[in-house]
A and B are shown apart, each in its own frame.
Chain A
Amino acid sequence: MQLLQLLISGVAQGCIYGLIALGFVLIYKATETVSFAQGDLMMVGAFGGLLTMTLLGFPFWLAVIASVVGMGLFGVVVERLVIRPILGQPAFSIVMLTIGVGYVLRGVITMIPNIGTDTHTLAVPYAGEVVRLGALVLSAEQLVVIGVTALLCGGLFAMFKYSKLGIAMQAASQNQLAAYYMGIPVQRLNGLVWGLAAGVAAIAGLLLAPITFVHANMGFIGLKAFPAAVVGGFGSLPGAIVGGLVIGIVEAVSGFYLPEGFKDIAPYIVVLLMLVLKPNGLFGEKLRKKV
């Protein structure tokens, strides 16, 4: 029974990792750039929800929508200003750029007078409630995380399967110049993808806020999302979620059964195992250069 309880909390945490991983797998699939800014975008999304509720007095549901849409627009702006000029540069430069963006986001939020340096609670309507299923005690926060993640995945899956967007994204990621020639509006697509990823990050932030509280260093959780993406395979959207779940469960279980300290490094040990056994992840494909 304890194990089941652990699993569920692992699944809930894993959904958060999965959502963050989903964000940068989206960006990776479309533009083959790795964005280290997802964690910090998540943090800004959470702050966005907080500020719209406390400063502007929005009710919760409105704050959520405002935050997600706002972050989406912000993602488009970031792409336009900062990412677009350097597509085509080596991947490493772009990674450093996104690290820089993350630094700036964290720094700016910290500079907000009185609010930036403190830890805040996000007043969600379901805070503190629990659901009992037999001997299991599930917190409402966990259920909401799992439920929203499932809905979001379903929505994204439908969008990619039934629209031209998915194919266009893949084309642009494999050969940008050819995609231009085929009439794909590559730059607009990239902006859209960044907006989408930022929106997903905002949702992750709002889901995480009741669990870890809102503070400027929330974004570091984003680092755990990288193992999730590696496990799932960097180019695979379902892989991101599955990877996140794997990491979440591994963390929960090792936190309980293994000595102290293993909880934090368990995801990274999983990464190394994965890279040795199946370098392209559970769902990734092996691509090889043809000479």
Chain B
Amino acid sequence: MRFIFKTDYDQDIRLAKHGGHVFWYGLLCASLVVAPWALPEYWLAQLTFVLIYAIVGLGLMLLAGFTGLFSLGHAAFLGVGAYTEAVLTNAGWPFPVSIACAGLLSAAVGMVVGLPALRVKGIYLGMATLAFGFIVEEGLARWEHVTGGNAGLSVNPPAIGGWAIDSTEGFYFLCLVLCVGATLAIVNLLRAPTGRAFVAIRDSEISAQSMGIHLARYKTLSFALSAALAGIGGALYAHKIQFLSPDQFSIVQSIDLLLMVVIGGLGSIHGAFLGAIFLIVMPQLISLGKDFLPEAIGQSTGLQGTVYGAVLIAFVLFEPMGLYGRWLKVRTWFQLFPFYRKGMFKRQKSFQKSDRLK
């Protein structure tokens, strides 16, 4: 068990709260830096995907987990970022400029999508974001002379002038740097007034307002930041898969993103990463497990969907705090051993109250 004797407000403010944090996160960073030399190329590519989805997940976590605004069409921002990056890179723009544009354009679209949030809540907001998702997807498909429409668009590697990043290792480091940057930005935000304002809006809008928080401004900001991160993730995604088509940014992708943050653990930074790992690792596990199942089930195209659905149901029913929540419980069990009490994380039984009156 660890007891932290606090003598300084800085101890509450700084990111690494104690020696253990420094050690483990340091080890994590070191392993991530060393990864290209330690992992075979296939797994390095998967790790790159994890980093990309984590960036997007951080954005969605900020919006849904920390501000309480649910976006059912988040893939739209991913798509806007991806296509912007593809078009600009193919036109020869240097990478830092093109990715900045991708982020900014997505943020602008995010602010537009966030407009309904200022007037409606809950499921109505979900419907509005769903609607935007469909509209953007269709827009990408119809605007053929820019996006190539349904025929697809191939993407050049990221480049600054003549120097291109076209190796797996190089691209991995690019994603790592951007992912670390995004994580630090979000974590900083959350320990500062802006992040607290988001949490206030999530928990009680009327109270947040009476504390002086301008609801419209912060909701729009949340949408913009979330969309910007999705746009940056989308830009990296475009380079990773090297060929874009509008159906990659459909509602199925939006739901996958939501799945990621819910299973990861809504309302936590770790959740974005755990969710991204889940999203990338799950298909691998299913492929591995296929051989052990009877042929009718193992070879069916419906297997992945069934497994995803079942896992989602299981998490919502039994572990609403997600993978991160489960990790917290396991860690607490070890930390308090043998004094862990069964009821420690028990949810209070709540009765359903009308959402319309919130």
Contacts and interface: CB of A to CB of B under 8 A. Distances in A.
Interface of A: 28, 31-32, 34, 82, 85-89, 91-97, 99-111, 113, 116-117, 173-177, 180, 216, 223, 226-227, 230, 234-235, 260-261, 264-265, 268-269, 271-272, 275-276, 279, 287-291
B173 interface: no
Among A94, A117, A265, residue most surrounded by chain B Cβ atoms (within 10 Å)? A265
A205 to B, nearest CB: 18
Interface residues of B, number: 55
Contact of A261 (B142, B297, B303, B305): B142
A91 B355 contact: yes
B352 interface: yes
A111 B302 contact: yes
A101 B116 CA distance: 28
B79 to A, nearest CB: 14
B235 interface: no
B55 interface: no
B138 A261 contact: yes
A245 to B, nearest CB: 18
A88 B349 contact: yes
10 contacts: A86-B320, A95-B126, A97-B316, A100-B312, A100-B316, A116-B300, A230-B127, A234-B123, A288-B357, A289-B358
A176 B352 contact: yes
Contact of A96 (B301, B302, B316, B352): B316
A107 B306 contact: yes
B353 A106 contact: no
A109 B258 CA distance: 24
Given A111-B296, A264-B134, A103 B309 contact: yes
Q: Considering residues A91, A104, A106, A116, which has the most beta carbons from chain B within 10 angstroms of its beta carbon?
A: A104
Given A113-B296, A271-B131, A89 B350 contact: yes
A224 B200 CA distance: 34
Nearest to A272: B131
B297 A88 contact: no
Interface of B: 64, 70, 116, 119-120, 122-124, 126-128, 130-132, 134-135, 138, 141-142, 206, 251, 255, 258-259, 262, 266, 296-297, 300-313, 316-317, 320, 349-358
Nearest to A223: B251
Contacts of B122: 91
B356 A88 contact: no
A111 B357 CA distance: 42
B138 to A, nearest CB: 5
Nearest to A107: B306
Given A103-B306, A175-B353, A264-B138, A93 B320 contact: yes
Given A97-B316, A100-B309, A103-B309, A108 B302 contact: yes
A275 B70 contact: no
A289 B127 CA distance: 21
Residue from A94, A108, A287 having most chain B Cβ neighbours under 10 A: A108
A94 B352 CA distance: 12
A32 B354 contact: yes
B310 A111 contact: no
Contacts of A32: 352, 354-356
A173 B357 CA distance: 11
A103 B308 contact: yes
A110 B302 contact: yes
Contact of A275 (B127, B266, B307, B353): B127
